[in-house]
Structure 1
Amino acid sequence: MTDIIIYHNPACGTSRNTLALIRNSGQEPTIIEYLKTPPERDTLIQLIRDCGLSVREILRQKGTPYEELHLGDPTWTDEQLIDFMLEHPILINRPIVVTPRGTRLCRPSEQVLEILPRPQQGAFRKEDGQAIIDEHGQRIE
């Protein structure tokens, strides 16, 4: 059993790149496709807290009902915003990765490197061709 969990959307390039970076470290995470299996309320609240972000910072706007629901309105409470995320999981920004070293919203995907328990095991390029890790497993800045 792995000690890494990724809340993943396979249709998202950032999420796919993050998953590939985890695998490039020689680890296979537990993959939760959160659109099919949304987190329970307490889990979502804990993920947000562990990321060190506000509820609003975890809300995804692009490609979601964010505008239709007028979620930019500052009168919505955190509890109400969480209700919306549970009703419409696409509103949860992704990918969120949990490891023994921390929890991160991995946007950009390189954020995952801060919390992986093992180093990268070789070169890595994002889907768009951008080099992130060199042939020695070192991050390219």
Structure 2
Amino acid sequence: MKSPRHQPPQEPALKLSDQEWRARLTAAEYHVLRDAGTERPFSGEYETTTTPGVYRCRACGAELFRSTEKFDAHCGWPAFWSPLAKDRIIELVDDSLGMRRTEVRCANCGSHLGHVFEGEGFDTPTDLRYCINSISLTLEPGDAPA
């Protein structure tokens, strides 16, 4: 059964050819952002970062998450309890790996960011854990807007 959070497929605003994406991204970035790969746990640059700021999509620069919604989930990847705004991401059913998960993609360019999990009992306002690959993000340091 589909969760009410899942959205119908939508066309991203930024459309590039495979060749253009490969020219724009490193091989590791392309693997995660365009092939829906995953970086190794506890290896990403933002996993334990506490720097204030806004996290952007590494592929297109769209603002996605704020540091004020980041929390330490001890899961090996940066975790957020909410995106910057619901229209910044797309949530899709992911039945790969023999389990049902919710994939998170950038709404602007369609790049894979990670997955969102619910009901894990974290003491956050939403009880959601947006588990995002560091390599999918860039951090713009500064005061995160309210």
Q: Same fold (TM over 0.5)?
A: no
The structure whose residues are more often strand, as a share, is 2
The structure whose residues are more often helix, as a share, is 1
Larger radius of gyration: 1
TM-score between both structures, scaled by the size of structure 2: 0.26
TM-score between both structures, scaled by the size of structure 1: 0.27
